[in-house]
Amino acid sequence: MLHMINKSPLRSFAIEDALRIASSDDPFLLIEDGVHACRAGAKSEDVVKKALAKHKVYALKPDMDARAVTRVIDGIEPIGYEEFVDLAEKHQVITWT
């Protein structure tokens, strides 16, 4: 299952909710305002590091660029639209808001 997070961690508990049910091999993808969670030094950094301990975490690079997210937590992999499509084809998708 691919867990897509599209809301800012300041406005949603989506990452925490997804972590409660995610299997250890489930990847996470931060998109839209969800990319704010990958910002190094953000309030959500501890939660994201908890996710990274068990899951692969990706962030959509065009959304990061649009929101000026440049300092990223180590371990998060920025990806483009092509990789996004590949992930969506490989996994069932659940979007957390």
Q: Which residues contact 12 (CB under 8 A, 6 or more apart)?
A: 5, 96, 97
User: What mean pLDDT is predicted for residues 34-60?
Assistant: 94
Tokens representing residue 48 in the block? 């994201």
CB within 8 Å of 51: residues ≥ 6 apart = 15, 19, 28, 57
- Could you tell me the pLDDT band of residue 97, with boundaries at 50, 70 and 90? confident
* CA dist., res. 55 & res. 76, Å (int): 10
pLDDT reported for residue 24: 87
Q: For the whole model, what pTM was predicted?
A: 0.94
* Residues pairing with 2 in the sheet: 93
Residue 72 has pLDDT above 90, yes or no: yes
- Please report the pLDDT score of residue 3 as a whole number: 97
Mean local confidence (pLDDT), 13-26: 93
Enumerate domains of the chain plus CATH numbers: 2-96 (3.40.1260.10)
The dihedrals phi and psi of 66, each to the nearest 5 degrees, come to -65, -25
* Residue bearing tokens 């953000």: 42
